[in-house]
Amino acid sequence: MFGARKEDIDHFLRKSPKKAVRELLRDDYPIPAPPVNNYNDDKYTDPEIAAGADWTVSLKYDGMNNGRRRNSFKSWWFGLMVGQDRSLREKMVLFWHNHFVTESNTVDNAMFCYRYNVLLRQHALGNFKALVRAVTAEPAMLRYLNGYASTKKAPDENYGRELQELFTVGKGPDSHYTESDVKAAARVLTGYTLNYKTFTASYDPNRHDPGDKQFSAFYDNHVIRGLKGKEAEGEVDQLIGMIFSREEVSKFICRKLYRFFVYHSIDEVTEQQVIVPLAKLFRRKDYEIRPVLEELLTSRHFFDPANLGGMIKPPVDLTVGLCREFHVPFPAASEYLDQYGFWEQLRNQAAGMQQNIGDPPNVAGWQAYYQSPEYDKLWISSDTLPRRNQFSDRMINNGFARNGKKIGIDVVAFAASLPHPEDADKLIGDSVQALYAVPLPPEELQFIKTSILLSGLVGMSSDHYWTSAWQACQNNPDDKANRTLITNKLKNLYRHLLDLPEYQLL
C-alpha cells in the first residue's frame, strides 16, 4: 500500500502472511465515486455542471472546462491513493498507469483520462490478457498512440510497436519480434475511430486493411487471414492471442512486478528461481494477475531481510505515504473545494519531485521503473532530494494552507498513538519502527535521543525530564508553555527522522 498506518499494521498482524496478502488482493471494493466540479473560478463557471456535481456525465467540452476537468481528475486520483482501502488496487492502478502509459496532456480530454483510469482500476487485479484487449480499444490509448487515425491507406505503427515492445513481450533476452511484425500488427489494428460527441470508440470495417498479415519466425511465421465487415475486428483478438502464445510475455510482466514490489536488480539466480516459476504460474492461470502477486508476496524471497528497504520511494509513495502514516486530515467531501485544493497542492509536490501522475514523461513511463542500471536511484538528484526534505519539513512545520484551513502533521497526536510516548527510548524506537523499512543502529538511536529529542534540556542525561514533560502535557493540555516545549521537541525529532536517508526507502 502507500505508507503503512499503524491500524493497518495491527489489523494484518492478526493474520497469517497468506491471509493478509489474500485480503490485500481483494478486488470487491466498489469503484469510487467520480470527480466533481471543483473548478469554477472568477474566470469561468460551468454552465452545465453545478459546483460539487459529477462532471463525468457531461459530453460538452471546450477550451475553458477541459483543462480544469483534467486537473480535477488528477487531484481526485491523488485523493483515492490517500484514502485507499486495505487493498493493493490503488497501488496496481499506478503500476498499470506506468505500464500502459497515456499522458493527459496528449490525450487532451478529461473524459478519456477519467474513463481510462476507471478501466485500469477495474482490471487492476484481474486478467492481464483481458486488460491488454480492453486497453487496445480504449479511447485514451487510441488517442495517445494515434490508433484512431490508423487506416488501411496509412496504418499507424505506434500502437503496434508499443503493444509488443512495452506492453507484452518487452525487450527481454528472448524477445525477437521484428520490424515486419510491427508493420503487420499496425495493419491488423486499423479500423478504430473516435466519436467526439459520445466520447467513445467504435470500429469501422471500411477503414480496416482486409489483407493477410504475415508475421516473423518469432511468431512461428503465423499468418492472420484478413477479415472484412463485422468480423474484421476479430483480427485484433487473433493478434493478441498470437502475442500471448510467446512465453516471454509472462516473463516480461513478472519482471516488472518484481521490480515494482521487491527490487530493481534481477540476477541470473533470481531469474531462474523467482521469475521463471512466477511466469509459469502466470501462464498456467491463464494470465490472471492475482495468483502471481499472491505467490510473490508470500514467498520466502519476498521476506528475505536483504530485500527490505532495497528501493528508493517514488515521489507518489513518499507524499501519499507520509499523509497516511501521520494521519494527515483532509477536509470532508462536503468541503470539496478545499479537499480537492489540498490534494492538488500535494500532487504538485510529487510532480516537482518528477512524478506527475497522469503525465509520465513518455510512452515508456517513468525512467526510475525501468532504466538500467540506475533504476530507482534516478528519483534522487541535487534538485529532487532537497524537494523531498522541504516537503516533509513543511508538513511538520506549518503544513499547507487554503481558505483559512491547514493540513499538516500533528506531531503530538502521532507520538500519542505510539505505545509508550512518555519513554524517550521507546518513543524513538517505535517511531523508527513505524516509519522506516530498516532499523537504525543503537548509536544512531542514542544520538537522536541526546542531540535531537532531548537537546537543550537541563540534565538531558536523565530521561525523566522528558517523561515528566510528556505526562504534564497529557494531564494539563492547557499549559501552553509545556505543550510548546513538547511540540517543538517532537518537531525536531520527526524533521530529523524524515530527513534521514532511511525514510526515503521502501
Pairwise CA distance, residues 327 & 332, whole Å: 14
- pLDDT tens digit string along 389-425? 999 999 999 999 999 999 999 999 999 999 999 999 9
pLDDT for the residue 465 = 87
The pLDDT-based confidence of 243 (bands split at 50, 70, 90) is very high
- pLDDT tens digit string along 156-185? 999 999 999 999 999 888 999 999 999 999
Contacts 24+ apart (CB under 8 A), 482-485: 483/412
- pLDDT tens digit string along 323-370? 999 999 999 999 999 999 999 999 999 999 999 999 999 999 999 999
> How does the average pLDDT of the chain come out, rounded?
96
Give the cell for residue 394: 513543511
Does residue 456 surpass a pLDDT of 80?
no
- Strand-pair partners of 282: none
Residue-range domain boundaries for the chain: 261-307, 413-504
pLDDT for the residue 173 = 87
User: Residue 40: is it exposed, middle or buried by C-beta count within 10 angstroms (0-12/13-18/19+)?
Assistant: middle
The pLDDT-based confidence of 27 (bands split at 50, 70, 90) is confident
Q: Span 277-301, mean pLDDT?
A: 97
pLDDT for the residue 433 = 94
pLDDT for the residue 459 = 55
The pLDDT-based confidence of 455 (bands split at 50, 70, 90) is confident
pLDDT for the residue 506 = 92
The pLDDT-based confidence of 460 (bands split at 50, 70, 90) is low
Q: Span 444-448, mean pLDDT?
A: 95
Q: How many helices (H) and strands (E) does the chain have?
A: 23, 6
* End-to-end Cα distance, the chain: 11
